[in-house]
Amino acid sequence: MKLARCLSGAAACVLSVALAAVMSLSSAEPARADQTGLRAADPSVLRVGGTYVAVQSTGGGIAVRQAPSTAGLAAAPARQVWSDTRGLGEVWAPEVVRDGGRYYIYFAAGRGAAHRMYVISSNSPDSGYTAETKLALPDDKWAIDGTLFTFNGQRWFVWSGWAGDTNVEQNLYIVRMSSPTTPTGPRHVISQPREPWERVVGNPFINEGPEPIKDPNGQLHITYSANGSWSDQYCIADLRLRAGGDPTYVWDWYKSNGCLFGSHRATMMPGWDPTLHVDGPGHHTFVLLDGDINTSPPAGPSFPSMFHAVPKGTPYAWENRYWYTGTFAWWGNTTYSRANVPGAPSDTGWSLKFFE
């Protein structure tokens, strides 16, 4: 682990060094993730009181697990809460959200270009879910990996999708929501896979698995996965909304200058090191209280996360992915610049460190 570079004077140096010291004191077992016994992808986990609630796709539906710790989820019984009785097709990457005390599970279903986002809901985490409802996302294009969050009192939905009807690249889009199930207004693109480090693997080039979180300054971040999930180049990067920025305006978002969590040094952001124990970490979840970004952790301590990856020394393939428990912490005084736009302004603020 390297200290963040001091980019704006002595005070920033003090902040970075102090933050690193607090982080090292706060982690009982730093820098080592634990492979769970769950051979699966796309974890989504939130904490409700002392219980951790996780969702995963199963052969023809969605299952929920509950345990007193993230490490205990793999051994917890999987309770089927929804089945694809209408033959929608492949069921991908369910995301569990809690809004107004009710549980919502968003998931993609379909075949080929027919993938769209759906939602089910219940007052209980593992029973009583409604039948699926297709989200009426604007433009009705291919859509996966969607999730709901509230920022500055407004509900938002963010997902990965296509601009048109062909599989050229997967962009990240955002839309306002008038309720947990009702989009309102147009969709807005906030990220496209156009940086060299996120185009190492293509056909298509991808930005997917968006996960919202709020930093200690109250700024919105959406971390996401880049490069093909079928490759060990898969990694996690970050979008940071500038202070006071408009979430619907693409130029108010600043992208990390490389992967923040990945297994290849050539694609890592300067000052961030590649993984030691896993290959292709991606599609992660921040394990937040009630899944609410307004409960995002403060600067200093490290907090739990989960992600999927393949153990080093194992052939990289979808069937070899496991859920891992890990941690993350905020990392201050980090500049994101638009490397491909000469003369464009940069933005300095909080970034994230992910730990195996």
Task: Give this prediction's pTM.
Answer: 0.90
Position 70 in a domain: yes
Helix, strand or coil, per DSSP, at residue 213:
strand
* Ramachandran quadrant class, 140 (left: phi over 0; alpha: psi -120 to 50; beta: rest): left
What b/e readout covers 286-305, taking b as 16+ CB neighbours within 10 angstroms? bbbebbebeebbebeebbbb
Give the Cα separation of 80 and 119 in Å (integer).
15
Position 107 in a domain: yes
- For 175, residues 6+ apart whose C-beta sits below 8 A from its C-beta are 137, 138, 156, 157, 183, 184, 185, 186, 187, 188
Position 1 in a domain: no
Asked whether the beta carbons of 124 and 102 are under 8 A apart, the reply is no
Position 152 in a domain: yes
Best CA proximity match to 347, nearest among 209, 187, 207, 215: 215
Domain limits at 273?
A: 10-355
Asked whether the beta carbons of 35 and 54 are under 8 A apart, the reply is no
Looking at the structure of the chain, the number of domains it has is 1
Give the Cα separation of 324 and 263 in Å (integer).
15
Write down the pLDDT at residue 32: 52
CATH of the domain at 190: 2.115.10.20
Asked whether the beta carbons of 311 and 277 are under 8 A apart, the reply is yes
Give the Cα separation of 93 and 106 in Å (integer).
8
Position 52 in a domain: yes
Alpha-helix runs per DSSP H in 201-256: none
pLDDT along the chain (356 residues), means of 10: 32 34 33 82 98 94 98 97 97 98 98 97 98 98 98 98 96 98 98 97 96 98 97 98 98 98 98 97 97 95 96 96 97 93 91 96
Per DSSP, the chain holds a count of helices (H) and strands (E) of: 1, 21
Position 69 in a domain: yes
Position 5 in a domain: no
Tokens of 224: 């996401």
Position 199 in a domain: yes
